Amino acid sequence: MPIIGLGACLQLGICAHKTPYCTENENSRCIVCKELFDFSLGLPYAHINVSRLICPYNGELIDESNVPMMLPNGQVYGENSIHELTRGDEIYDPHSDQHFALRDVKRVYIL
């Protein structure tokens, strides 16, 4: 009987993290996408009223003090990471291993 309780707790935990964007991806930081995708099949998605954006480079919260910035390839980082990745008038994208002109970086506005 305890296995049923454990299974229910595991399913609840997975549902709390699962979103419609979850896909099987070993390189993801999402626990559902990376390790629990097979277990999540058939389970409902989490209902999240408030979203938080996390910078993929340094893990910092992206908010009004660390505004989102988009590179020409569509990758979004917090402004703090943009400063760290900038050398002179060029920025390096560690995700794609590309370099871009700093003038081509755009601020992202989220409603």
Q: Where are the domains of the chain?
A: 2-40, 53-107
- pLDDT value at position 35? 81
Please state, rounded to an integer, the average pLDDT across all residues of the chain. 87
Distance CA 3, CA 67 (A): 45
Distance CA 59, CA 78 (A): 9
pTM to 2 decimal places? 0.61
pLDDT at 17 over 60: yes
Q: What angle do CA 45, 50, 55 make, to 5 degrees?
A: 95
